[in-house]
Structure 1
């Protein structure tokens, strides 16, 4: 069974042909060929295989799903093929020769690039020498500036001595200020003592005020309790009066009911007497 495959995308110079050869050898495919090509201005890998159907189907399935690490596959086209296909071991020798040729070609290019690099290094070295001379000139100027800095430093030392003298005078003034400060501290201590006595008197006044406030609060509380008690008595007296009135009202109603019942009983007794008399019974 023969098949032709075309792999499209960024697939050249990424080790695709050795990758495909490894798959073909792993599946024991007898005839195999792969090469880089350009189809419709697109870079592709062109493959032909010839073996049993199961091996070819397995090869197509693997190639359609697995790619070299640096490859970017856009599409894998598969179609029937009827031409001759190189033996796999022959393709191995062909690919080896192609790789050696590429190494030799790239090796020559690398040697040319190495020569160019050496020439550039020489040019850079010459430029470094020029820069070194300029650096030396700058160094001489720096030495001159250093001498001027030393002269300025000597003048600074003179100014520093004068500053030290002024500092000594400032120290004397500081000692006098410290003595005045000590006297001020003594006066402040006396003021603090007077303040403490004033605070003590104030605390006593506050204590007396608190006691007066407490007596006033107790008096207000007693007056309030008296008011509450008087109001309570008044309410209780009113409640008792209302209860007495209710009792009198109930008693009047009871008397009226009893009088009504007695009246009815008398009428019933009279009727019984009349009935007995008519019946010939004397009472």
Structure 2
């Protein structure tokens, strides 16, 4: 006796098919298939199982009472199924291939993002170096201006000191004591 179980809700990309495979393994169910589909625009997992009545009843009860942590189940439909259902080992092999393919795609995307980040990092380093060179140039210019200002101030102070000395001498010559 086969069953078709349709689980509707937030059931894609939450590990639902792997979760169902683990339940089927736990109950030694030999015929199993699970597919992610859309039904009327909603996410769904369609599960096909075949085994003895006790296994199937227990499987249905577990499906109704348990779910992956991130899943949100809105509805579960259970109906008889008379078509062919593949062997659980064939499902596992196919499922593993699909999952490995997803892992490879994610890995490639991560490498691409890493390359983009490294490129941005290189651009940022170039900008930092250019800014540092501009700052060094500005510091040299400011330092040069400070040196010139210091020279001018030193000459003015020397002249002021010379004039103060002349004024003192003139005052003393005029008989004014300081």
* TM-score, structure 2 normalization: 0.73
Residue 10 (structure 1) aligned with residue 6 (structure 2) = no
Match of 2:112 in 1: 112
SS of 1:6's partner is strand
Match of 2:63 in 1: 63
Match of 2:167 in 1: none
Richer in helix (by share):
1
Structure-1 separation of matches of 2:146 and 2:14: 62
Residue 70 to residue 137, structure 1, CA distance change in 2 (3 Å): farther
Match of 1:230 in 2: none
Residue 133 to residue 2, structure 1, CA distance change in 2 (3 Å): same
Match of 1:33 in 2: 33
Structure-2 separation of matches of 1:142 and 1:43: 67
Residue 44 (structure 1) aligned with residue 48 (structure 2) = no
Structure-1 separation of matches of 2:43 and 2:6: 10
Within-5 A mapping of 1:222-237: none
Residue 61 to residue 130, structure 1, CA distance change in 2 (3 Å): same
Residue 142 to residue 46, structure 1, CA distance change in 2 (3 Å): farther
SS of 1:49's partner is strand
Deviates more, 1:57-66 or 1:124-133: 124-133
Residue 134 to residue 76, structure 1, CA distance change in 2 (3 Å): farther
5+ long unaligned stretches in structure 1:
152-283
Deviation at 1:30, TM superposition (A): 1.5
Runs of 4+ aligned residues of structure 1 deviating over 4 Å after TM superposition are 137-148
Structure-2 separation of matches of 1:143 and 1:60: 83
Structure-2 separation of matches of 1:127 and 1:42: 49
SS of 2:85's partner is coil
Deviation at 1:110, TM superposition (A): 2.3
Residue 29 to residue 145, structure 1, CA distance change in 2 (3 Å): farther
Richer in strand (by share):
2
SS of 1:33's partner is strand
Match of 2:75 in 1: 75
Residue 125 (structure 1) aligned with residue 125 (structure 2) = yes
Structure-2 separation of matches of 1:142 and 1:11: 66
5+ long unaligned stretches in structure 2:
154-178
Structure-2 separation of matches of 1:143 and 1:80: 89
Within-5 A mapping of 1:1-283: 1-137=1-137, 139=139
Deviation at 1:3, TM superposition (A): 1.1
Length, aligned pairs only: 149
Deviation at 1:134, TM superposition (A): 4.1
Structure-1 separation of matches of 2:11 and 2:146: 66
SS of 2:104's partner is helix
Q: Using CA pairs below 8 Å that are at least 6 residues apart, which structure has the higher relative contact order?
A: 2
Deviation at 1:94, TM superposition (A): 1.2
